[in-house]
Chain A
């Protein structure tokens, strides 16, 4: 259920003020749905160690988080894409400081097929012919797959809504800057919905963050071109940069983070915070516990 905006308020006023500082602080975090589970877990764990600080996490998407940062409605914007130049400009104009990014984790986009699909790997070129505008691959038999359950042959492309960060990232890596997606894909609203649909559809192929993989789907290994070694979407491969579909997950603040927000971001990058990244199925950027 992508539409439902995840709301998590960790520790409300009365419970929080029992901390020794006596001053209660709330940090408002908003943005990417990809990051929302991790952000939620960070918030809960941080509140346990720092009862005087509560962190309020909202989802809605990278764009929503950035818009909120521009309007001053949140302290940290979570994004699964870098800020666009015009967004940077707006932050400067409205908040009179520059937006500052912190890479908090990495996400590897997995290319997913139905669990019973015999295919184990795929090249970027093959993906481009499936997903790209004008691409000619429409049947699994064109890819040498002839024994899908139920005798299905048609490739069912499962994408994301065209305003999502995941959509833009997949397009940039697989199709390049100068090519659009082929229309007619099933545009799932949220990564969870996409994975759920692929698991129920024998002929499906789609993409989502590595953290969303379930037992009903299979993640394909990816090679940059025919003949290159196929790279599995694993944490090691994402961290050492060999897996092609890896992207940074960022925290943006208006101006350099200060005070409680600075402490919070430092904690996220500490081994404790990075361990949560790993637990949630994403890739840590620093050493973890």
Chain B
């Protein structure tokens, strides 16, 4: 009796120690994950505050905002009078992004439809892996392709005066953004329940009609999010556009004109700008402008994705 009681007590004690250990590790893990989650928010805010801090002396006071947004004169190191007009750079970023989207949205969504609806088995898996591989190519390699392959082609076939220009930038950016659009687009098409497709078939719809009349409306939020993610990718890209757009401060009047983007301007000028000088600070103001643009794009795509969840 006694023996049994004491052995039972031991077991209970051991099991309570194990439970305590389990609970402790559980709590530690919870805190770790908690910290990971908050660190992302912390870093974003830290970066924002750093950029704001560097930009502040120009942002509050010295910078003429009307000139900043409406002048095409980007002469930050002028000996006559430094001028900080980013209109041409803003137009450069927007035009190269718009061109890239005009090329890669139909291409990317078409590829997503093909992968999700029209092919299967090994071919489908192979395609998906290849497209994901496309996303893994470093941007500097894309830049090289633009300069050494696409540029000479544009000069020889299209008669462009110079191979690095808006069109070159648009094509390279389209190829870089396509993988995002294809994989997110494909996921959202896959998420459409099969009952929708079956209902379409039962009504005698052709496969194209199912895609166009059933899948697109059903997956429209996901597809829109895919496009917006592609836009975000294109606006933020730096190295490749620095190499292939020609990096010229002007408002383009044709596809063959070189342009310059906001990101490339920061990348090329920040390194040698006098630290703490006006030029240096204005480059950080440009960083804030980029922050604002990507924030709006990301927020829009987030809200759109939330829209999907509500519908379910």
Given the contacts A61-B272, A186-B247, A3 and B239 also touching, CB distance less than 8 Å:
yes
Assembly CA distance A178 to B243 (angstroms): 31
Specify which chain B residues have a CB less than 8 angstroms from the CB of A156 in the assembled complex: 161-162
Select from chain A the residue with minimum beta-carbon distance to B75: A180
B147-180, CB < 8 A from A: 147, 151-152, 155-156, 159, 161-164
A183 touches B74 (CB 8 A): yes
Q: Does A85 contact B (CB under 8 A)?
A: no
Tell me how many residue pairs across A and B have CB atoms closer than 8 Å: 103
Q: Mark B219-260, 1 if CB is under 8 A from A, else 0.
A: 000000000000000000001001100111110000000101
B77 touches A162 (CB 8 A): yes
Specify which chain A residues have a CB less than 8 angstroms from the CB of B243 in the assembled complex: 189, 193
Q: Does B37 contact A (CB under 8 A)?
A: no
Q: Mark B123-157, 1 if CB is under 8 A from A, else 0.
A: 00000000000000000100000010001100110
Given the contacts A1-B140, A61-B272, A200-B155, A180 and B80 also touching, CB distance less than 8 Å:
yes
Q: Does A152 contact B (CB under 8 A)?
A: yes
Q: Does B76 contact A (CB under 8 A)?
A: yes
Specify which chain B residues have a CB less than 8 angstroms from the CB of A64 in the assembled complex: 271-272
Assembly CA distance A2 to B147 (angstroms): 14
Specify which chain B residues have a CB less than 8 angstroms from the CB of A200 in the assembled complex: 151-152, 155, 163
Assembly CA distance A46 to B156 (angstroms): 47
Given the contacts A162-B77, A185-B248, A201-B155, A63 and B162 also touching, CB distance less than 8 Å:
no
B246 touches A186 (CB 8 A): yes
B258-276, CB < 8 A from A: 258, 260, 267-269, 271-275
CB distance from A16 to the nearest CB of B (A): 30
Given the contacts A1-B140, A156-B162, A200-B163, A183 and B269 also touching, CB distance less than 8 Å:
no
A154 touches B79 (CB 8 A): no
Specify which chain B residues have a CB less than 8 angstroms from the CB of A63 in the assembled complex: 271-274
CB distance from A28 to the nearest CB of B (A): 18
Residues of A within 8 A of B (CB): 1-3, 60-64, 67, 87, 150, 152, 154, 156, 161-164, 167-168, 171, 177-181, 183-189, 193, 196-197, 200-204
**Shortest beta-carbon contacts, A-B, top 8:** A163-B272, A184-B250, A61-B272, A63-B272, A183-B249, A161-B268, A162-B77, A154-B161
